Amino acid sequence: MPVKFIKIEDGKSFLLERIMYTRRYTLSLNRELCVGCELCRAACPKEAIKVVKPSDLADLEEPPKRITVTVLEDKCNFCGICSEICVFGAFKQSINDEENIPVLASESFPKIIHEVKIDESKCPPNCKVCEEVCPLHLIKVNFEGGKVRVDVDRERCPGCRICEVKCPYDAIHTRKIISGLIKINSELCPEGCSECVKACPIPNVLSISSDGKVNVNDLFCIYCGACRNACPVEGALEIRRTAIYHAPVKSGAWNKALERLTSTEDMAKELRSKLASRAYDSVRRLQMGGRVRR
């Protein structure tokens, strides 16, 4: 029986289904959450993800307003890496309607850690600064019976750290998921272009200064690369990701994804540190009276 593929897309969503008799694989993308960044395309081991501009999808009924991605059904193998690497939580994968990311279960791909720690005891009543500053509206502050409860939709948090920096009471601790560097070569920028500023999902990371040049505020940048996808000139915008915060894992697929997301050197660095930590662990085991191999 031919494997059946169903592909439904509009400006707001994209859905790809692979149906094998009674087994159904579903990969869905919420385009309202997708910011058109580089992460899923770079991480995909099968080159199944293509970055598309609104003009590429012009024949859809309601074309998306910003750059987004599409999945090629002849290449996708429903491994779920895109779902995990998307720090905005725009991708969801399920098998027979149950959320399922096969590469996580087998530890072929690490869990990406979205770290937002909140010490609610420090929160005074009626302070809603974090809720107000979160650019993606992921924080909800509740006051119930004199107690403060802060709910964060962590899966969708890309870790810009705005909440931490803005919190007046030092109640929030976060950690960037992606570390890196960003640089604008203004001399290459076309006159009056502000594509990168418009594309950036985090406000105030990129801005146009009075002399018409693009300014970068590295502090809040999440190095997702949405700006680079939008930039019309090759080389005008440089991003170098150096590390990704993730649960430990030993997987060739991750090493390759990491290499594509960062660079060969950074990938090698992570491998070296893993080796070092393994050596450290074994020394610790010895010290703690573990068996010594002769």
Partner 1 sequence: MSEPKPEDIRIGVFVCHCGKNIAGVVDVKDVVEYARTLPNVVFAIDNRYTCSDPGQEEIKRAIKDYNLNRVVVAACSPRMHEFTFRRCVAEAGLNPYLFEMANIREHCSWAHPSHPKEATEKAKELVKMAVAKARLLAPLEPIKVPVTPTALVIGGGIAGINAALDLAEMGFKVYLLEKKESIGGHMAQLDKTFPTLDCSICIEGPKMVDVARHPNIEIISFADLVKVEGYIGNFRVVIRKNPRYVLEDKCTGCGECSPVCPIEYPNDWDMNLGVRKAISVPFPQAVPLVYRINRDYCIECYKCVDACGPRQAIDFDQKPEEIELKVGAIIVATGYDIYLPEEGNLYGYGKYSNVITSLEFERLILAAGPTGGHVVRASDGKRPRVVAFIQCVGSRDVNKYPYCSNFCCMYTLKHTIQLKEHYGDDVDVYVFYMDLRSHFKGYEEFYQRAREMGVNFIRGRVSKIEEDPKTKNLIIHAEDTLLGEPIELEAEMVVLATAAIPAKGSEELARILNITRGTDGFFMESHPKLKPLDTPVDGIFLAGACQGPKDIPYSVAQGCGAAARAATILSKPSVTIEPIVSVVDPEKCRNTKVKCGICAMKCPYGAIRAEPGKPAQVMAAMCHGCGTCVAECPVDAITQMHFTDAQILAQIDAALENNPEDKILGICCNWCAYAGADLAGTSRFEYPPNVRIVKVMCSGRVDRDFILYAFKKGAGMVLVGACHPYDCHYIDGNLKMKVRMDALARALEKFGLTPDRFRVEYVSAAEGVKFANIIREMAAKLREIGRDRIRAENEKLRPHIERMLKGK
Shortest approach of partner 1 to residue 93 CB, angstroms? 12
Task: Tell me which of 251, 268, 269, 271 binds partner 1, using CB under 8 A.
Answer: 251
In contact, 242 and 179? CB cutoff 8 Å: yes
Shortest approach of partner 1 to residue 70 CB, angstroms? 20
- Dihedral in degrees, nearest 10, Cα atoms 226, 232, 233, 238: -10
Q: Give the HSE-up count for residue 22: Cα atoms under 13 Å, Cβ half-sphere.
A: 0
111 binds partner 1 (CB under 8 A): no
103 binds partner 1 (CB under 8 A): yes
Gap between the Cα atoms of 273 and 278, Å rounded? 8
Cβ-Cβ contacts under 8 Å for 192 (sequence gap 6 or more): 212
Residue span 163-202 as binding mask against partner 1, x where in contact by CB under 8 A, dash where not: ----------------------------------------
Task: Tell me which of 11, 17, 46, 133 binds partner 1, using CB under 8 A.
Answer: 46
**Amino acid letter for position 55:** S
Task: Give the 3-state secondary structure of 92-106.
Answer: EEEECCEECCHHHHC
Task: Tell me which of 252, 287, 292, 294 binds partner 1, using CB under 8 A.
Answer: 252
Q: Which is nearer to partner 1, 103 or 226 (CB)?
A: 103
Cβ-Cβ contacts under 8 Å for 257 (sequence gap 6 or more): 42, 43, 45, 81, 85, 109
- The shares of helix, strand and coil residues in the chain, as percent rounded to the nearest 5, are 30, 25, 45
291 binds partner 1 (CB under 8 A): no
Shortest approach of partner 1 to residue 20 CB, angstroms? 5
88 binds partner 1 (CB under 8 A): no
- Using the Cα atoms of residue 32, residue 33, residue 38 and residue 41 in order, give the sign of their dihedral: negative
Q: Please, what's the largest Cα pairwise distance for the chain?
A: 70
In the range 17-36, which residues lie near partner 1 by CB under 8 A? 19-23
**Amino acid letter for position 230:** A
Q: Which is nearer to partner 1, 23 or 146 (CB)?
A: 23
**Amino acid letter for position 139:** I
Residues binding partner 1: number (CB under 8 A): 29
91 binds partner 1 (CB under 8 A): no
Task: Tell me which of 94, 108, 179, 262 binds partner 1, using CB under 8 A.
Answer: 108
First-residue to last-residue Cα distance in the chain? 57
Task: Tell me which of 52, 60, 129, 253 binds partner 1, using CB under 8 A.
Answer: 253
7 binds partner 1 (CB under 8 A): no
Shortest approach of partner 1 to residue 240 CB, angstroms? 24
Q: Which is nearer to partner 1, 60 or 95 (CB)?
A: 95
**Residue ranges binding partner 1 (CB under 8 A):** 1-4, 19-23, 45-46, 77-81, 102-103, 105-109, 250-254, 256
